[in-house]
Structure 1
Amino acid sequence: MSGIVVVDQRSDWPVDIPGIEVVTAWDYLTQELHTRARRLRVYNLCRSFAYQSSGYYVSLLAGARGHKPLPEITTIQDLKLAESPSIINDEVEELIQHSLARIGSSEYVMNVYFGESLARRHERLARALFNQFPAPLLQAKFVYRGEEWRVDSLGPIALGEVPASHHEVLFEAARDYFARKRSPRRRKEPSRYDLAILVNEDEKEPPSNARALKLFEKSAEDLGFDVEFIDKSDYGHVAEFDALFIRETTAVNHHTYRFARRAAREGLVVVDDPLSILRAANKVFLAQLMERHRIPQPKTMLIHTRNLKQVAAELGFPCVLKQPDSQFSKGVIKVENAAELKDKASDMLERSDLIIGQSFEPTEYDWRVGVLDGQPLYACRYFMAKDHWQVVKRAGNGAKVEGSHETLAVEDVPPQVLKIAVDAARAVGNGLYGVDLKQFGKVVKVIEVNDNPNIDHGIEDLVLKETLYRRIMEYFIRRLEARTRT
């Protein structure tokens, strides 16, 4: 995807950056060359974003033309409301207090150029502001009131208002921004679409191992994607892509959900989409969803402080308690008696007003069926860890022991397992899911639906091999092409 810097006058931007063309706002708005251009990043550095000004129309029409503007028209509108404290998220609020703690005056003005600040100590705050309000040039004014710093105003600044003493920093920030993760690739053909894969290199138990990520990248490039691996610092870049694939463990109160929500709002094809994260991340919701769709599950009870005494009679012992947002066997415990039930459930209910209780139904293994777009994709049997009732056994020191695994061809999976897995996934959405099930002869019950299933090289791909990765990338292509036709 090529890029242009749009300014009111060519002399406004005297910097030559490889791969970036300088275009006037009038030319961008009126010349057919730009009207019909495809796959274009538009960096809007006009002097004003006032309603119906040329700067306003550059971002507005860039969206209509299918280009990727910075700032987006939605960002321009958001910035008009930025003086409201409610629009600054908690993470940014904490950074404001920390970053400005040693400022001696009661007011402070900070300019942010492409996510960078002149002062090194404000780098994290500058990046966070840019991530929330992705605009090339921002100015934030802070005031100290009531023993804390508050945002007095936040908005775009005109290129002509940047002090001459800041120009060197501005131009260097622009060079870094344009070059970041965008080095030329050797490709036989131009890419059809841009795909971002969100990862976290520090995550101890990521949903895909390094080899799997490479295979996703290769499959995507073979289908015409230009692929970039991004991390949580790249929130401000999301709108520059056509699709987002989240390969970091998702949660609702987490940057992964914010990435998914922003990507969906900007029209990207997203896996995991924000609605799937909201639904699958909460076991209370899943339990009610399975009940409504009459999908079999172990005997299930919504537990709260007022019915805790009824759990023993309803579920018996042992039974299983689940924290609503538990993941990877964490927050899922087995209780053996009434005293243990009271102790563990009371602890969980301090963090959530509702928790899940289920009858304990032991099996030698759990099924995991991967479902993509309402169709079974892969199937595994995960065996219980030795001398344990779960697939993963965790020690108090953080060590874990996992049971063995077996990957099967989908056609070798019992039809009832496939049917119930697909039914459960379709109840959640049409993306990519991992459905965990237990089988007792001909009886099959859903344990949970995961919106962010593990796909590791050497486990889930043992049968399909590279075809598994290609099918997931083909899903993105189908969705993108369908949007193009629409």
Structure 2
Amino acid sequence: MRKIVVVDYPKDWDVAIEDVEVVDVQSYLTDTTYTDIKNARIFNLCRSYKYQSAGYYVSLLAEARGHKPIPSVTTMQDLKSPTIVRAITVELEELIKKSLAGLKSKTFTLSIYFGQNVAVKYEKLCKQLHDLFQAPLLRAQFVYKDDWVLQSISAIPINEVPDHHWRYLVRFAKAYFARHRFSGARITRKIYDLAILVDPDEKEPPSDKRAIQHFMDAADSLGFYVELITKDDYRRLPEFDALFIRETTSVNHHTYKFARKAFADGLVVIDDPESILRCTNKVYLAELLAKAKVPTPKTMIIHKDNRNQVEQELGLPCVLKKPDSSFSQGVVKAKTQECLKKELDEMLSDSELIIGQEFTPTDFDWRIGILDKQPLYACKYYMAKGHWQIYNWNGKKQDTEGDADTIPFEEVPFTVLHTALKAANLIGNGLYGVDLKEIDGKAYVIEVNDNPSIDSGCEDRILKKELYLSILKSIKKRIDNHKNFRTDE
């Protein structure tokens, strides 16, 4: 992806940075050479972003051309509204107080050049403000009223940067553009930008570190610039073409917030927000599977008015599940009437509806990985040692998780594959893991996961690196289809 800095006059930016082109505003707005570029990121350093100014039209036409402008027109509008600025930055109140503590004046101006300031102590605050308002040069005005508050934030015209700041500005710019490597001699094949959302501190992530590296290698081989991002990078999503979520998803969680924003911004997203909503709520899944007549263990949606019928309907022991349970957490086995009452009391105090299923013990669960409505891999997940589930979070560390085998498709019973596909295809065409039990030659769906585990040495045991390539090829195809759709419009 080409990186183009647009300025009013070439003298405004006479800094040579590898892989960065400098174009004057008139050329970008009127020269068809730039109109026809398909993949470009536009860094708008015009002196003014005022409505209908040349700088305004740079970002507006960049968006119309399918380029990615920084700042976007939305950001320009946000910067003009004190109400929006306050609403967006409310989450930074504590950081502002901490960063500015000790200042003796009643006002303070913070200059932010490509996300940094000449004073290192303001580094975190600068980064957060830059992530919230993505513009190359920003000026934040703070006032002290019982405590420090952000009064306004605006773009700094390039010609107003003090001379003694220029050496810092150039250094920050070089670091900034190096981070955003989308083109250049060494990586000329980098056409797409992919963000992989991870949580470095997650104890049981969907993919281990080696698998994440395999994903990154696969992305690189297909022409992606790929970057691992965390929950702190929310405002950076518009920099990318696609978001691949590799941390455990939940609706009341930043993973859903990321998926929703990325989807709204036109990115290709796996897991997409609709899949997260559907898969992470077991009440929804139970209703969906029942309506489509997909076989499941005997299931009932439990609420306060029918809780006394659970034992009669499901027998004991039975399995109770919180609507948003995952990785066997929030799933319990009620063995006795006393245990059943206790668990129902607890679960129904948190949720109006929960799921109950008849207890169907097996030595292993099938997991069929599905992508684009086609099977991707098949595994047998064995129960944890001495336990009835795949995961035993209360067991000894070495016995937390059962063994797993990856199985060739020709050895997977037809009914298992067929039932898994039927269930997953009710959700969408994303990446899913369908868990099933096989009993007396029949397959029963336990759940559909929107964020299936893909670990090195397990799910990739048969396909190896081709597994990672398959997923990245799907993301690439989705980006191409999306771009073609926009072009056709």
When normalised by structure 1's length, the TM-score is: 0.89
Corresponding residue for 1:245?
244
Aligned counterparts of 1:59 and 1:315: Cα–Cα separation in 2:
60
Indicate how the Cα distance of structure 1 residues 18 and 416 shifts in structure 2: closer, same or farther if over 3 A, else same: same
The answer (yes or no) to whether the contact 2:6–2:28 under 8 Å persists in 1 is yes
1:415 is aligned to 2:414: yes
Give the CA deviation at 1:233.
4.0
CA gap 1:341/1:181 in 2 versus in 1, 3 angstroms: farther
Contact 2:19–2:183 under 8 Å retained in 1: no
Partners of 2:225 and 2:84 lie apart in 1 by 38
Aligned length: 485
2:450 paired with 1:451: yes
The whole-number CA distance in structure 1 between the counterparts of 2:81 and 2:360 is 53
Q: Contact 1:99–1:125 (CA<8 Å) still a contact in 2? A: yes
Output the CA distance in 2 between the equivalents of 1:341 and 1:106.
61
- Matching residue's letter, 1:59: S
CA distance in 1, matches of 2:303, 2:169: 55
Unaligned runs of 5+ in 2: none
RMSD, aligned α-carbons: 3.0
Please say if residues 279 and 428 of structure 1, whose CA atoms lie closer than 8 Å, have aligned partners that are also in contact.
yes
Q: CA deviation at 1:454?
A: 1.0
Identify the residue that residue 57 of structure 2 maps to in structure 1: 57
Corresponding residue for residue 326 of structure 1: 325
| Deviation, structure 1 residue 42 | 1.0
Q: Distance in 2 between matches of 1:445 and 1:92?
A: 48
| Offset of residue 318 of structure 1 | 1.9
Instruction: Specify the code of the residue in structure 2 equivalent to 1:66.
Output: G
Per mean C-alpha deviation after superposition, the further-off stretch among 205-214 and 157-166 is 157-166
Residue in 2 that maps onto 1:112: 112
Q: CA deviation at 1:129?
A: 2.7
- 1:465 aligned partner: 464
Cα distance, 1:29–1:205 mapped onto 2, change above 3 Å = same
Aligned residue identity for 2:452: P
What SS does structure 1 have at the residue aligned with 2:329?
coil
**What is the deviation of 1:458?**
1.3
Distance 1:393 1:119, change over 3 A: same
Instruction: Give the 3 Å change call, closer, same or farther, for CA 394–73 of structure 1 in structure 2.
Output: same
- Corresponding residue number in structure 2 for 1:341: 340
Matches within 5 A, 1:208-287: 208-287=207-286
Q: Distance in 1 between matches of 2:16 and 2:294?
A: 61
Corresponding position of 1:296: 295
Q: CA deviation at 1:102?
A: 5.5
Residues 207-240 of structure 1, C-alpha deviation per residue, up to 9 Å, x if partnerless? 2223323332333333333333333444444323
Q: Which amino acid aligns with 1:430?
A: N
> CA distance change for structure 1 residues 184 and 52 in 2, over 3 Å: closer, same or farther?
closer
Preserved CA contact (<8 Å) 2:197 2:228: yes
Q: Counterpart of 2:358 in structure 1: which amino acid?
A: S
Question: Structure 1 214/28 Cα, relative in aligned 2: closer, same or farther at 3 Å?
Answer: same
After superposition, the Cα gap between the structure-2 partners of 1:314 and 1:116, relative to the gap in structure 1 and judged at 3 Å, is farther
Structure-1 separation of matches of 2:243 and 2:186: 21
Relative to structure 1, the CA distance from residue 187 to residue 11 in structure 2 (aligned partners, 3 Å threshold; closer, same or farther) is: closer
**Conservation of the 8 A alpha-carbon contact between 2:182 and 2:191:** no
Does the CA-based 8 Å contact 2:454-2:460 persist in structure 1?
A: yes
One-letter identity of the residue aligned with 2:113:
Y
Deviation digits for residues 245-267 of structure 1, max 9, x if unmatched? 22222233333333323332232
**Partner of 1:6 in structure 2?**
6
Distance 1:445 1:81, change over 3 A: farther
- Which residue of structure 1 aligns with residue 429 of structure 2? 430
**SS state of the match for residue 457, structure 1?**
coil
Cα separation, 2, equivalents of 1:300 and 1:275: 24
Distance 1:132 1:27, change over 3 A: same
* Worse-matched range after superposition: 292-301 or 448-457: 292-301
Per the alignment, residue 44 of structure 1 pairs with 44
Asked whether 1:22 is paired with 2:22, we answer: yes
Structure 1 residues 212 and 287: alpha-carbon distance in aligned structure 2, compared to 1, 3 A threshold: same
Give the share of equivalent positions with the same residue, in percent.
52
Query: How far 1:345 moved relative to its partner?
Result: 3.6
Distance 2:154 2:316 in 1: 59
* Matched ranges for 1:94-109 at <5 A: 94-96=94-96, 98-100=98-100, 108-109=108-109
Letter in 2 for 1:224: G
Give CA deviations for 1:382-433 in whole Å, capped at 9, x if unaligned.
Answer: 0111110001112378775221212112232222211221122112111111
Could you tell me which amino acid in structure 2 is paired with residue 15 of structure 1?
A: V
Secondary structure of 2:66 counterpart: coil
Once residues 427 and 46 of structure 1 are traced to their aligned partners in structure 2, the CA distance between those partners, rounded to angstroms, is 49
Q: 1:151-205, CA deviations, whole angstroms, 9 ceiling, x for partnerless residues? A: 4434433334445554444333222211126398886862343333333333322
Structure 1 pair 312/119, CA: closer, same or farther in 2 (3 Å)?
farther
Determine the C-alpha separation between the residues in 2 that align with 1:22 and 1:188: 19
Matches of 1:80 and 1:337, distance apart in 2: 63
The alpha carbon displacement at 1:456 in A equals: 1.5
- Alpha-carbon contact 1:301-1:357 (below 8 Å) kept: yes
Structure 1 residue 381, shift from structure 2 partner: 0.9
Task: Compare 70-79 and 165-174 and name the one that shifted more.
Answer: 165-174
| More divergent stretch after superposition (334-343 vs 184-193) | 184-193
Deviation at 1:365, TM superposition (A): 0.8
| Preserved CA contact (<8 Å) 1:250 1:277 | yes
Q: Does residue 372 of the first structure (1) align with residue 371 of the second (2)? A: yes
Q: What SS does the aligned partner of 2:324 have?
A: coil
Conservation of the 8 A alpha-carbon contact between 1:82 and 1:155: no
- Mapping of 1:96-175 within 5 angstroms? 96=96, 98-100=98-100, 108-142=108-142, 150-164=149-163, 166-175=165-174
1:393 alignment partner, SS class: coil
- Determine the C-alpha separation between the residues in 2 that align with 1:96 and 1:337: 54
| Cα distance change, pair 184–191 in 1 and its aligned pair in 2 (3 A) | closer
Contact 1:366 1:382 in 2 (8 A): yes
State whether residues 320 and 333 of structure 1, in contact with CA within 8 Å, keep that contact through their aligned partners in structure 2: yes
> In the alignment, is the contact (CA less than 8 A) between 1:252 and 1:281 conserved in 2?
yes
SS at match of 1:402: coil
- Identify if the C-alpha distance between structure 1 residues 293 and 104 changes in structure 2 by more than 3 Å, giving closer, same or farther: farther
For the Cα contact (< 8 Å) 1:82–1:88, is it kept in 2? no
Aligned equivalents of 1:109 and 1:188: distance in 2?
39
Letter in 2 for 1:175: K
Given that 1:377 and 1:410 are in contact with CA atoms closer than 8 Å, whether structure 2 keeps it comes out as no
C-alpha spacing 1:345/1:400, structure 2 compared with 1 (3 Å): farther
1:191 counterpart letter in structure 2: K
The 2-side partners of 1:464 and 1:2 are apart by 34
Please give the alpha-carbon distance, in whole angstroms, between the structure 2 residues aligned to 1:118 and 1:83. 28
Closer, same or farther: CA 104–444 of 1 in aligned 2, 3 Å? farther
Contact 2:362 2:437 survives alignment (8 Å)? yes
TM-score, structure 2 as length reference: 0.88
Distance 1:310 1:168, change over 3 A: farther
Separation (CA, whole Å) in 1 of partners of 2:184 and 2:212? 18
